[in-house]
Structure 1
């Protein structure tokens, strides 16, 4: 059996163990009543490298037919702050890294110039890992199909705050169809179905704000984004 097959079997095994633990909890068992390997298996021995390897060979939706790269994610795998955008664009598709085009350069300015952090201090990902043709909006079936990768990224990173960049990220994380204009500026509870949080961690809070691509078209909205960012900085300073 080749290496790729082994990794695929390994990921399927971890998913099966996760499902078993969730079933036991639903039946009334407490986590303390489960054996140590069963408690830790959804998180221990399942790193972002294995998840990225699985994503790199994903053919679950038609987007794999037109992509150049799977754009998985980049940054600090133990970050307190996670940025989640919509989908890769042309530059990201070529380079295999999220937010490297004009919108990405603006996001880097926000992180480094405004927040006084380094880009590598945070973790950056997208709802979709493959570029939609022509940068069109993600389709619901694509979001649903790609969703498990992002959920597992959040579980493995365990951030304290997620900044949702734009409507698609905010709506996915909050389980709503409300637009970004009404959602932005306030912290929301993360409502990702099935999201597992380690016992010593709290679920991440979500701050929706405008996508950097929107700011390129509407520079006046930068002031609103800065207000949202200041709230995130204040929150992180207190936790």
Structure 2
């Protein structure tokens, strides 16, 4: 078994990067522990203790129980301790939390104010495990907005949507149609990375909806490019795959602002299946034609 002390700094850095990509949130103990043996010993100890606990105490003196069979106060089971405020498990979003998110979003009068409001928001459990809060960035001078699903490990580390390899590919995709991060407004549906890059739950998605809709309303883009399965289903209210939802213009509404939107494959999906790049290129050409009519003719 290779020990950390036998590895070079470059090898350690590569190993840590691999674990981070796999969704590992923390490391285990310094010394290995045989969990199977520990479980077996614990099980055996319970089996030994159970007969002793089941044996009736025949020689114990009879106890007079006050009232109608209730045990005396000194022998009653203590009340279950409630977790102290601030140490409880993160609350799952409920109707009150959704209303709080809506109020915080609608109170913001600019993207900068909205970013501050989202960073201060504490009623979503996703925030407790995320390092960064991802919100809209970019000048949006071209009147376009690019929206992905949720931050991944690279985004969470860098504090920016579409970082890492997927971000580099997005940069090339935008450049191919004469755009850039600076000319677009780029964000994600969910502002916090879910643990292990899992899909957000329904309640988690519901609490984040006011934030992304307010970002669209404040940015006021002319066109939106939606990337990936999750984001397309979120905005279009359909359950099909991205291959069924891509390449079609639809209207999406956000806070009274209606905008034309098209979905295409996420850069991460293109990295996993390079053959799909031809489909994404067709979508980008159609999107670019709407941005600058006649330019591709």
- Deviation of the 1:106 alpha carbon: 0.6
How far does residue 195 in structure 1 lie from its aligned partner after superposition?
2.9
Give the secondary-structure state (helix, strand or coil) at the position aligned to 1:82.
strand
Q: Structure 2: how far apart are the matches of 1:120 and 1:151?
A: 21
- The one of 120, 141, 166 aligned to 1:103: 166
* 1:81 counterpart = 2:144: yes
Measured against aligned partners, the alpha-carbon deviations of 1:173-209 in whole angstroms (never above 9, x if no partner) come to 112222211111111121x4x5312xxxxx2111111
Q: TM-score, normalised by structure 1?
A: 0.76
Q: Deviations over 1:108-164 (max 9, x none)?
A: 11112x112222100111010000111112222111111111100100111111111
Contact residue 78 and residue 158 of structure 1 kept, 8 A: no
Q: Which of the numbers 141, 150, 160 marks the counterpart of 2:222?
A: 160
Matched residues, number? 194
Structure 1 CA distance for aligned equivalents of residues 207 and 290 of structure 2: 32
Give 1 or 2 for the bigger CA radius of gyration.
Answer: 2
CA distance in 2, matches of 1:64, 1:161: 29
Q: In structure 2, what is the Cα distance between the partners aligned to 1:70 and 1:62?
A: 13
Is the contact between residue 78 and residue 157 of structure 1 (CA under 8 Å) also seen in structure 2?
no
Deviation of 1:79 (Å): 4.5
Deviations 1:196-230 (A, max 9, x none): 12xxxxx2111111111100100000110000000
Query: Mind listing any 5+ residue stretches in structure 1 that lack a counterpart?
Result: 1-8, 17-44, 198-202
**Contact 1:72–1:96 (8 Å) recurs in 2:** no
Structure-1 residue corresponding to 2:153: 90
Partner Cα separation in structure 1 for residue 227 and residue 210 of structure 2: 19
**Structure 1 CA distance for aligned equivalents of residues 142 and 255 of structure 2:** 17
RMSD: 2.1
Q: Would you tell me which structure has more helix in proportion to its own residues?
A: 1
TM-score by length of 2: 0.61
What stretches of structure 2 of length at least 5 have no aligned partner?
A: 1-99
CA distance in 1: counterparts of 2:104 and 2:256, whole angstroms: 17
Which residue of the partner structure matches residue 220 of structure 1?
Answer: 275
Please tell me whether the aligned partners of residues 133 and 159 of structure 2 are also in contact (alpha carbons under 8 angstroms). Answer: yes
CA distance in 1, matches of 2:275, 2:114: 39
- Does residue 141 of structure 1 match 2:203? yes
- Secondary structure in 2 matching 1:238: coil
Match of 1:237 in 2: 292
Alignment match, 2:109: 46
By how many angstroms is 1:77 displaced?
A: 4.5
Q: Using the TM superposition, name which of 70-79 and 55-64 deviates more.
A: 70-79
Contact 2:104/2:117 (8 A) holds in 1: no
**Is the CA contact 1:187–1:206 (under 8 Å) kept in the aligned structure 2?**
yes
User: What secondary structure sits across from 2:287 in the alignment?
Assistant: helix
- TM superposition outliers: structure 1 runs of 4+ over 3 Å: 11-16
